[in-house]
Every structure is written in structure tokens, then in C-alpha cells.
Amino acid sequence: MNRKSKFCHCADKRDMPNSRKPGMQIETANTVSVCLTAMICCALWGSAFPCIKIGYQLFQIDGNDISSQLLFAGCRFTLAGLLTILLGSLMNRRPLIPRKTSWIRIAKLSLFQTVIQYLFFYVGLAHTTGVKASIIEASNVFVAILIASLIFRQEKLDKHKIIGCITGFAGVVLININQSGLDMSLSLTGEGFILLSTIAYAVSSVLIKIYSREDNPVMLSGWQFLLGGIIMILCGYLTGGSVSVWTAPSISMLFYLAAVSAVAYSLWGILLKLNPVSKVAVFGFMNPVFGVILSALLLGEGQQAFGLTAIGALVLVCIGIYIVNKQP
């Protein structure tokens, strides 16, 4: 009996390393797929920064005309919603029609992810600098992880997540600070509104993870875009906004920006459904990095994008992402 026990015990020890390897390989493969998908999303969102500026030029929208900017954004998100619903229906081989119980979830997501986020963002951006707005917006990674950990109890807040977020945030600050430094003055309608926009986006990230347990995340993204886009069109139009210069280049840019939202948010929603919020949200630090690099390529801002500061920022962001996703 003892010999058999010893034999079984030894056999178990020999088998344990081999039994762990498949699990480790699956986890590694999952991390790589999350990384690649998230980077695609961030590259698309990063391209939106310069493309929105180009869109304003093509539609002849003034930088201080908030109403027309809201109307332009409403057109973009309405079109993004239609594209998402159409593509999602084709992929699922059936129409993505919400159930009765889904409409409340769609309304909440639309309120936080599209309406509140962008209304406060556009108004706040008009009363602060682009540097401050970029830095405050990047804090949505912290806020999303804090909400997921402390309020909804979806995951534990450990030292790796805290250190990784701080490291990644340092990279965002570094790439946004120019030679004149950072003005620390604050205002409610400027930095305050940008912060509220950031909190709204972070809440939407947590909500879509919760709601996608029962609903298709692509369906949620599509219909919340459509609903939010219509609301923003009404807000922009009723406050005197106009989008009147419709040419082939301007329409093409509008379709591209709509496709960016449709593809990126749908993929992001799927990632949040399948992974912890912290594992996905931390990649958000790459958005401003891609934004600066692609602005250099599309707007001719090469000196800012390819200097030592930008390289250092990219390194810090990558280190932060690695720390958060590192397996204990």
C-alpha cells in the first residue's frame, strides 16, 4: 500500500509540469491575441486625432464652433452605429435586433460612452489646452480599473496594476509636455469637464463588460452609437451648428471616422467581455502615443513625434502595459 502511494505520488510529481504547460501556452496565446487586438484598436483611435482635424478642414468647421463639432460628431457616430449593426448582422447571419431587456442597457451605455463623454469633451476642450486634455483623458485607465475593482468588485487591485498604470501614465505625460512645460491652472468648464468626460468613458468600459454577459457586445456598441449619434445631432443642430460642405473627400473622411468607431469599439467590447478590465484598459495609454505618431505622418508634426521624448514615452507605456499584464 505504501509502495503504491509512493509510486502514485512520484507519478503525480512527474505529471505536474507537463499538465501545466498547455495552460501556460493557452494563457500566453491569449495575452498575445489581446495585445494585438488592443493595439489595432489604439492605432485606429490614434488615427482619429489627426483625421478629426482634417475633417474639420474639409467641412470648414471652425475650431471654436462647438455646435458644429457636435453635429459633425453626431453624424459620425450615427453612421458608425449603422455600420456596426450592418456588419454585425452579416457576421452573425441574422439581424442584430435588441431584446426588450436590452434597451435600458443600450440607453445607459449611450449616455455614458457617447453623449456625456463627447458633450463634456468638446466643451471642455474649448476651455483648456490640448496637452492638458490628452493627459486628463489618459487617466481613464486608472478610473476604469478603480471602478472595476472598488465599486463593481470585478477584480482585485494589486500592486502590479498600480505600478503599471503609474508607469504608463508617466509616458503619456512625457509625450504631452512641450518645452514650455505644463500650466497647472484649472477651471470647471475646462479641465473639470474633461475629467467628467474621462469618468463617463471609464464607467462605460465597466458597464459594457457587465452587459455583454447577456448581450452581444457588437450589438450593444452599434445601437448605443446610433442612439447617441442622433442625440448629438439634435444637440448640435438645436444650438446652431451646421455641416454644409459635402464633397467626395469630406464624405470619405466621415466614413473613415465612422468605420474607426465601428471597428475599434466593437473589438474593444469583445476584449472587455472576455478579459479583466485592467488587462484591456491599460492599452488605452497607447492612444495618445499613436495619436502623436500619426499626427506627424498626416499633419507634418514630425519633430514632436520622432524625438527622444516620444521614444521615451513609448517605452514607458510599453513597460506599464507589460507590468499590468504580467502573470504573478
| Between residues 9 and 48, the one the model is more confident about | 48
Residue keyed to cell 495585445 = 35
Taking all residues of the chain, what is their mean pLDDT, rounded to a whole number? Answer: 82
Give the pLDDT band (50/70/90) at residue 226: very high
Q: pLDDT digit string (tens) for 135-178?
A: 777 778 878 888 888 887 777 888 888 888 888 888 777 766 65
Q: Is the pLDDT of residue 24 over 80?
A: no
Burial of residue 180 (CB within 10 Å: 0-12, 13-18, 19+) is: exposed
Instruction: Name, in order, each residue with C-beta under 8 angstroms of 257's C-beta and a sequence gap of 6 or more.
Output: 48, 51, 52, 55, 76, 80
HSE at residue 11, side-chain half, CA atoms within 13 A, is: 6
Q: Determine the average pLDDT of the residues in 223-234.
A: 96
| Cell, residue 78 | 450615427
| Cell, residue 312 | 521615451
Q: Determine the average pLDDT of the residues in 303-315.
A: 70
- Tell me which of 7-11, 129-133, 210-214 is least confident: 7-11
Q: Determine the average pLDDT of the residues in 244-249.
A: 91
Domain ranges of the chain: 37-325
Of 219, 227, 206, the C-alpha closest to 276 is 206
Give the pLDDT band (50/70/90) at residue 198: confident
E strand intervals along the chain? none
| Between residues 26 and 106, the one the model is more confident about | 106
What phi and psi values does residue 105 have, to the nearest 5 degrees? -65, -45
| Between residues 262 and 30, the one the model is more confident about | 262
Q: Determine the average pLDDT of the residues in 204-229.
A: 92
Per the CB < 8 A criterion, the answer to whether 83 and 262 are in contact is yes
Residue keyed to cell 499584464 = 325
Residue keyed to cell 476651455 = 127
